[in-house]
Amino acid sequence: MPYIIDVEASGFGRGSYPIEVGFARPDGSVFSCLIRPEPEWEHWDDSAELVHGIPRAKLLEDGRSAREVAEKLNDELRGEVVYTDSWGFDSTWLSLLFYHAGLSQLFRLETLSKLLTEKQTTIWGQVKQQVALDLNIDRHRAGPDARMLQRTFELTAAV
């Protein structure tokens, strides 16, 4: 089973930044944490908050520093290839996180589509929808989304 990562953000446009990161380990266990915004991270998109349900005030209160989150990611994922279904966005947000942490990213991020066969791609959406129901996922949160993607990969690979 591959490592799968997901990043939630303050929005999708210019100036957006990571607010939560989560990943599913090969054994299916999940890590996730909120990220406290850096002082210059001011962009906030209310429509993004409607999707993930995380108020900015919660990040300021409960979020971990960019450095702490980047260190945790490097500790757990060092030398691994980690997959995402949203490489363009997630790679940008992880780069921003590591830049503000003052650290190099010690794992490689790849697009999940590199792992998928044509058959998997054909049934992906339907299986993912069923997995979301089975796991009772109704909001976009990084840890559960990473696990949902990993479980979808597992089920589609078995077909």
Number of CB atoms found within 10 A of residue 42's CB? 11
Q: For 107-146, write each residue's pLDDT tens digit.
A: 999 999 999 999 999 999 999 999 999 988 867 899 999 9
Provide the CATH number for the domain around residue 54.
3.30.420.10
Tokens of 35: 């990220």
Q: For 17-46, write each residue's pLDDT tens digit.
A: 999 999 999 999 999 999 999 999 999 999
The total number of structural domains that make up the chain: 1
Q: In 3D, which of 40, 33, 41 has the Cα closest to residue 58?
A: 33
Q: Which domain holds residue 42?
A: 3-157
pTM: 0.94
DSSP 108-144: EEEEGGGG--HHHHHHHHHHHHHHHHHTT--S--HHH
Please give the pLDDT value at position 124.
97
Q: For 97-109, write each residue's pLDDT tens digit.
A: 999 999 999 999 9
